[in-house]
Homo-oligomer: A and B are copies of this chain.
Amino acid sequence: MPRPKIEDAEERLLSAGLNLFARLGTERVNTNAIARRARLGIGTFYSHFTDKYALLREIQLRTLAGIRVARLDALARASEQTALQVRRSAQAVVQFARSHPEAYRVTFGRERAGASRHGPVVSESSRPMAEALARLQAAGRIDAALDPELAARAYSSMEIGTLLWWLEDPGRAQEAALVDTLARMHPAVSGGV
């Protein structure tokens, strides 16, 4: 009898899931709670997602896409200068995290139990960055002894870990200081010859 309104049920579910995941953690949220918060029947949940982790995956994919776009936008507007590009890129991510803290936490946070159930969405691919570092190395712009892949990997972990820590309490650091620290510790900057 109900049938509330033929609306964006899927969006409602994604939004409800994001909020609950961020507040309670993936494991402490169940499908019934997501459907209830979306003001939809539990059956509706299952006609849109196969399970809780499918919804989580969709949230993560959207977040990763958002970050990619933000980063590319920033780079497009920045000059060719490496140090500036690094800074702009860091700035873009920090801004994204500040604007979408729930999405960032849900996507990168600890307690990603879903990963072990349905394979990781976030492979934390640092491939593009590794390639960029390799190019800089080839151009003699950074220390030849640096391992590009390891360095890229290390930087990614640093960025994610630091942002998650910051989001727990944004009062912990000024946004500008955060960007500065990330940029300084970026291998393309610190590793300069």
Interface residues in chain A, defined as those with a beta carbon under 8 Å from any beta carbon in chain B:
24-28, 110-113, 115-117, 124, 143, 145-147, 149-151, 153-158, 160-162, 165, 172-173, 177-178, 180-182, 184-185, 187, 190-191
Contacts and interface: CB of A to CB of B under 8 A. Distances in A.
B173 A162 contact: no
A149 B156 CA distance: 19
B158 A161 contact: yes
A151 B116 contact: no
A157 B159 CA distance: 8
Contact of A111 (B115, B153, B161): B115
Given A161-B161, A162-B153, A191-B190, A177 B111 contact: no
A28 B185 CA distance: 37
Contacts of A151: 181, 184-185
Nearest to A158: B158
A63 B147 CA distance: 29
Given A158-B161, A187-B185, A116 B150 contact: no
B158 A154 contact: yes
Contact of A27 (B27, B173, B181): B27
Nearest to A114: B111
A162 B113 CA distance: 19
Nearest to A112: B110
A113 B113 CA distance: 7
A152 to B, nearest CB: 10
A94 to B, nearest CB: 12
